[in-house]
Amino acid sequence: MSHLINETLFHGTAEKILKIDVFKGRNNKDFGRGFYMAVSKSQAIGMMHKKYKEAVARRPNISKNSFSETLYEIKIDTEYAKTLNIKKFDIADEQWLDFILMCRESGGLPHEYDLVIGPTADDDTMVCLNSYWRGFYGEVGSIEAKQKLLEFLEPENLDVQYFVGRQSVADKLILSIKEIEWS
């Protein structure tokens, strides 16, 4: 299956990156534990601000100056990407939702894809997912509950993200990463 792969992606963070390390990613995320990149520079900037606030709040004994809002431009090897096992979600539909639910429930890397591309669940995702898992939208697993969850996630407003969860893939896929200005 051929996929159109963006050559330039972005990553916003609160820490300097010397080398991509997929194991530094948090567990129970949209597509699994790994490294996420945004198609949109503005989305990466938004994530950068969010990560900075989270880092400062989570580590109150560490000086705010220890963290920095940093935006990176990433170049992808599009020829190598064509050889990968890719899962692409064009829209945030029930198939996308089932995949996110599976990844967030299982944690780690619960699938065999080298690269996952698809909509980013928004900032209220965990609130909505917890409501879903508690049965507030109806019987967990039912079509009605999933449709209600999708409505609350506002899929029409979601940006696209790229995910890689295997270090060996990240090492070959990512040609370069450089810090760029964001202000």
Query: Element (H or E) spanning 68, and its range?
Result: none
The tens-digit pLDDT sequence of the chain (183 residues) is 456 899 999 999 998 898 999 998 888 889 999 999 999 999 899 889 888 888 888 888 888 788 889 999 999 999 999 999 999 999 888 999 999 999 988 999 999 999 999 998 766 677 888 899 999 999 999 999 999 988 888 765 678 999 999 999 999 999 999 999 987
- Secondary structure (3-state) at 149: helix
Q: Tokens for 145? A: 């509950």
Cα separations in angstroms, 5 against 46, 55, 64, 173, 178: 22, 31, 37, 11, 19
Domain boundaries along the sequence of the chain: 8-121+158-180
Please state whether beta strands 86-88 and 115-119 pair in parallel, antiparallel, or not at all (unpaired): parallel
136 close to 179: Cβ distance less than 8 angstroms: no
With a CB cutoff of 8 Å and minimum separation 6, the contacts of 9 are 37, 38, 39, 73, 74, 76, 162
Is this structure's pTM higher than 0.95?
A: no
Q: Computed from CA positions of residues 20, 35, 46, 161, in that sequence, does the dihedral angle turn out positive or negative?
A: positive
Between CA 118 and CA 163 the distance in angstroms is 9
Angle between helices 143-153 and 94-106 (to 10 degrees): 90
